[in-house]
Amino acid sequence: MCLKIEYKKIQEECGIFGGYAFCGHIAPYIKCALLKLQHRGQESAGICCGDEVQNLYKDFGLVNSVFKDYEISNLKGAFGIGHVRYSTFRDDRKENIQPLKIRYMGEDVSLAHNGNVSQAAHIREKFEKIGEVFLSASDSEVILKRIVFSLKKKPSEWTYDEVAKCINDNFSLGSYCIVIFTKNRIMAFRDPWGYRPLMLAKTAQGYFVASEDVAFWGLDVEEIVEIQPGCSVEITSGGVEYKTFDTTKKHKKCVFEQIYFASAASNIFSKNVYQTRVCLGELLAQCEDSDFCADVVVPVMDSGLGCAIGYAQKSGMPFHLGLVRNSWAERSFIQPEQKNRKNNVLQKFMPIKSVVEGKRVVLVDDSLVRGTTSSHIIKILKNAGAREVHMRSVSPKILNTCIWGVDIPTKEELICHGISDSKIAEKIGADSVKFLPLDMMKEVFEGDNWCLECFLEDRG
């Protein structure tokens, strides 16, 4: 399951959290963490807490609307996992919200994941042919049932090695992070390719894992560690054990975690997200023709902010917020209908007329996918009186889909597919467009352990 718009863009990954709270009540910590991971999924939220018996509460909506004080105080227990979700399909079935919980041999066990578990559909089909019934369309249920079927014993008796082997044997092609909650124990796994981030924190309040380290903000942190690809942790009241289950794969960190998905405050793959975006913006400014000149640099909030600051710093052009983002508008990717998405862009962005009126504007964003968001924003700026709008993307042209779980549309829907820059500008109503060349992006994402596949016309 994944996530983002076009009406804004591509879909990002869900957010996961899990751990053990020393005070015996983890639910408030999970809620706080999910709020900080809300940008990774806004369709639904779920928390499963307990010790021996697990209590699950989940619903559609934002974290704050799903979990009021009443729900949090009723979610008892020192151990727990949580999830915020965006799904790639229109989904109104509560059963599909994560975490998924089942009862097996008299014990509760629950699981949540993000990313793409590519073999799940095949395994589901195989199970159904032998009469297994699934209550949800979620891949979490497939993973959970695959483990149950392989181990055939009480979840409290599952050893770490058995669970790791089962996941790795059956889902070796996946790009996933998984948290599993069995009696008084949390296990967390990051896939051997390392497409998605997974972080561990040892704090004065407990031991926690999360999709991004921003989720630990506010805790008294003693140590934060990035769980490496093919590695995992097992958390009990006795402490944290860091383990390795597969180090044979070449790492493929998703650059969009840095460019777009993650919070600017997070440190993903050992790089601060905000600093990366500033750096990309600076490089983009260096690509401009020497005679290019504009009056103001305006970011597309939020992920374009750092990029625009970097661009303005390097180019010497003034930086201003020419657009305000309405934080209270729902993010448009959670509105699948085209008409709703358009309305959502209009609700979400408001121009500051005094900044853009009569000005030549450089509009800086993290990427262009279908171009629909950009085209609406350009229209908003021009309606507010902007004389020219020059669109700038700190990502190279997106030319391919993603087979690793990010919901990029088909090649034919991608604005950059098969047309020139001038045609792209014409389609989105810009006076010019420019993209950071892939070679320059590689100055920021050095080495060969980054995934850049969606920028390649052919994957090879």
* Residue number, 191 or 453, with CB nearest to ligand SF4: 453
* Residue number, 54 or 175, with CB nearest to ligand SF4: 175
Q: Closest distance between ligand SF4 and the C-beta of residue 363, in Å?
A: 23
3-state secondary structure the chain: CECCCCCCCCCCECEEEEEEECCCECHHHHHHHHHHCHHHCCCEEEEEEECCCEEEEEEECCHHHHCCHHHHHHCCECEEEEEEECCCCCCCCHHHCCCEEEEECCEEEEEEEEEECCCHHHHHHHHHHCCCCCCCCCHHHHHHHHHHHHHCCCHHHCCHHHHHHHHHHHCCCCEEEEEEEECCEEEEEECCCCCCCCEEEEECCEEEEECCHHHHCCCCEEEEEECCCCEEEEEECCEEEEEECCCCCCCCEEHHHHHHHCCCCCEECCEEHHHHHHHHHHHHHHCCCCCCCCCEEEECCCCHHHHHHHHHHHHCCCECCCEEECCCCCCHHHCCCHHHHHHHHHHHEEECHHHHCCCEEEEEECCCCCCHHHHHHHHHHHHCCCCEEEEEECCCCCCCCCCCCCCCCCHHHCCCCCCCHHHHHHHHCCCEEEECCHHHHHHHCCCCCEECHHHCCCCC
* Residue number, 386 or 451, with CB nearest to ligand SF4: 451
* Residue number, 320 or 397, with CB nearest to ligand SF4: 397
Strands 107-116, 175-182: pairing is antiparallel
Residue nearest to ligand SF4 (CB): 402
Omega into 302 within 30° of 0, i.e. cis? yes
Q: Closest distance between ligand SF4 and the C-beta of residue 116, in Å?
A: 9
Q: Closest distance between ligand SF4 and the C-beta of residue 408, in Å?
A: 6
* Residue number, 185 or 196, with CB nearest to ligand SF4: 196
Q: Closest distance between ligand SF4 and the C-beta of residue 459, in Å?
A: 9
Q: Closest distance between ligand SF4 and the C-beta of residue 189, in Å?
A: 18
Give yes or no: 231 in active site. Answer: no
Q: Quick one: tokens of 149?
A: 């079927």
* Residue number, 300 or 402, with CB nearest to ligand SF4: 402
Q: Closest distance between ligand SF4 and the C-beta of residue 454, in Å?
A: 3
Task: State how far the Cα of 148 lies from the Cα of 287, in Å rounded to an integer.
Answer: 54
* Residue number, 109 or 406, with CB nearest to ligand SF4: 406
One of 2, 14, 402, 454 is an active-site residue; which one?
14
Contacts with ligand SF4, residue ranges (CB under 6 A): 195, 254-256, 402, 404, 406, 451-454
Omega into 4 within 30° of 0, i.e. cis? yes
Q: Closest distance between ligand SF4 and the C-beta of residue 445, in Å?
A: 10
Cα radius of gyration rounded to whole Å, the chain: 22
Q: Closest distance between ligand SF4 and the C-beta of residue 3, in Å?
A: 12
* Residue number, 351 or 371, with CB nearest to ligand SF4: 371
Task: State how far the Cα of 44 lies from the Cα of 32, in Å rounded to an integer.
Answer: 15
Catalytic site positions: 14
